[in-house]
Structure formats: structure tokens, C-alpha cells
Amino acid sequence: MPLVTSKEMFAKAYNGGYAIGAFNVNNMEIVQGITEAAGELRAPLILQVSKGARAYANHTYLIKLVEAALIETDLPICLHLDHGDSYELCKSCIDGGFTSVMIDASGKPFQENIEITKKVVEYAHDKGVVVEAELGTLEGIEDEVKVEAGQASYTRPEEVEEFVSRTGCDSLAIAIGTSHGAYKFKPGTKPQLRFDVLEEVSRRLPGFPIVLHGSSSVPQEFVDIINKYGGDMPGAIGVPEDQLRKAASMSVCKINIDSDLRLAMTASIRKHFAEHPGDFDPRQYLKPARAAIKAMVAHKIVDVLGCDGKA
Ligand code: G3H
Ligand code: 13P
Ligand code: ZN
């Protein structure tokens, strides 16, 4: 099966009350761990590549890894640019075979965000590629863009209709309290997404797919393993999975997860070296790390996204 766009996936997810997982890929073991889980569970999949991942692994290597996953799994897979920060980067990914791009101009003023998003949409649609845009800003680090604590802003529902109709974007990432990385909420506070904002956005955009970034849950057991074996991750706290499940049952069709895969992989590697200090064959520590990613993705597909059996 060739790469697909997210259009059909999102239409089915919206009507079916589930969401598609968008997992970040950086190397072969990550691609394999994710796609093995999705393949066994017959879950449609979005593999996403950040600017940093592309710089790290090389566009061609990433494309070829994803092509291999298509052959091995025969799943509907969408290849997506995560947090494209310029028209040129989006164009390069579109020309280079991606089926979906995100233009993230959410840090720019409203009118500027509209202009750059519209320009990307015009180019992308001409080539059969879909576009995700963003309104509102999340705290945390998105590639080179760091939004300081307190500087994030929830999406303003009164802006979404004008934004979507003027840009022609295919999906919209909104800010309702999620954030990037492992430190999403202050320790001691009760994490709570703004479902009132999500509901109002959905009311204004009936049938339109909404995206949640920064949706790792940061399971304490993985933080504990990392800390037990020499790490130092104080006060890490993520989005409760029951809130993500609720969002998936509403208009949220795409849920972005990266940090949880990093945690699973790093915890596995730290544990491996603590137990096998003499190992120096990368296969010995990357094999369990890949299995840890697979287990994490399987859990997300079944317990959070609800997209198992939907491929
Ligand atoms: O939202 C950002 C993603 O987690 C990608 O992170 O820019 O470090 O590859 P990265
Ligand atoms: P997390 O850092 O919560 O995994 O979010 C990833 C993300 O939003 C990628 O765009
Ligand atoms: Zn993101």
C-alpha cells in the first residue's frame, strides 16, 4: 500500500469516536517499534518527522525506513512533517514525498499565521498533500522554538472559523492545556485539560478534525526506572490518559506522542546497562529498547486512542 494522507483516517476517526496516534520517528528502531505494534493491532498510523529528526537522520533515510514499514505491515500510513516552521521546509517535505505537513505559525500574529498557512495550503493541495495548522501556543520546546512557562495561550474559539475558512487547512492543532516534553503540569497541581475550549471549537467547526500536541502521559514507572539507574528527572508530570481518551471520543482525531517513546526507550537502555555493564553490542541494548517502544505504542493504541482494528 502506498503512503496515504490523513483525510480518510480523520473522517473515520471523527465519526467513530477514536483518534489516530501520531508518533515521532528518528531512527530505525523507533520506526520498527511503532509499526510492529500498529501492524499487529491493525491500527491506522501517522509517522511524523520533526525538523530536528530530519536533520538528525536525513530525509532520504527516513523516507526509506517508512517505505520499508509500508511493505512489512501493509497498513495505511501517513507521513507527516511535525512543526514545520517555514514555507520552504513544508515545500521541501511535500516535494520529497510526505503526504501531510504541519505549518506551525502559531507564535506569529493571527493575520500572519493565516497568510503563511494559506500559502502552504495552496502549494500542498496542488500536490495532493494535506495541511495541519495551529492556533494558540503550547508551553515547552518545539524544535528551536521555546515557549516559556506562563507565555502559552489557550486557543481562542472565536478565531477558529475565520482561520479555517481563510486558510483552507485540513486539520487544526489547538492549545487546551497540553504541552511538549515531560514537565507539563506543576507537581502538586491536578492536571486538567480545558474541555470547555475543545467543545466550543468543535461546536464552531462541526465535522472538522482537531489535533492535540504535547499528549504524552509521562508514566511515573518509567521516570522511576530512569532515576533508579542514574537519571535525574524531578517532578515530571504528563496528561492523564483518561482525559486523552475523552478527547479522542470527541473531535480530536490526531494525538501526538513523542516524549513517552523517548522515556520508554531511555528507561530500557539505562536498565539494560545497569544489568549488563559489559555489553557493547548496540543490538543487545536496542533490541529491548525497540520492544519497549512497541509495548508503549500498543498500550496507547488500545487504551488511549481506541484505533485498534480500524485499519
Ligand atoms: O513537538 C516536538 C516533538 O516532540 C519533536 O521533538 O524537535 O526534539 O524532534 P524534536
Ligand atoms: P509530547 O512531548 O507530549 O510527546 O508531544 C509530542 C508532540 O506534540 C510532537 O509534535
Ligand atoms: Zn508538537
Cα–Cα distance measured from residue 214 to residue 256, given in angstroms and rounded to the nearest whole number = 6
Atom of ligand 2 nearest to the CA of 142: 10
Q: What is the pLDDT of residue 67?
A: 98
Q: How far apart are CA 205 and CA 158, in angstroms?
A: 11
142 C-alpha to center of ligand 1: Å? Answer: 6
Each residue of 80-132: pLDDT tens digit?
999 999 999 999 999 999 999 999 999 999 999 999 999 999 999 999 999 99
* Probe residue for ligand 1, chosen from 180, 239, 255 as the CB with the greatest number of ligand atoms within 8 Å: 180
Q: pLDDT tens across 131-140, in order?
A: 999 999 886 6
Ranges assigned E (strand) in the chain:
20-24, 45-50, 77-84, 100-103, 130-135, 140-142, 145-147, 171-174, 210-212, 252-257
CB 118 near ligand 2, within 6 Å: no
Ligand 2 centroid vs 212 CA: distance in angstroms? 9
Three-class SS state of 43: coil
Q: Is 234's pLDDT higher than 60?
A: yes
232 is catalytic: no
Q: Whose CA is nearest to atom 8 of ligand 1?
A: 143
Using the mean position of ligand 3's atoms as its centre, give its distance from the Cα of residue 171 in Å.
14
pLDDT at 30 over 60: yes
Q: Tell me the best of 49, 62, 80, 258 to mutate to test the pocket of ligand 1, counting ligand atoms within 8 Å of each CB and taking the most.
A: 258
pTM of the entire predicted model: 0.96
The pLDDT tens digits of the residues spanning 123-178 come to 999 999 999 999 998 866 444 444 555 556 899 999 999 999 999 999 999 999 99
User: CATH number of the domain at 7-305, please?
Assistant: 3.20.20.70
Q: Which atom of ligand 1 is nearest to the CA of 53?
A: 9
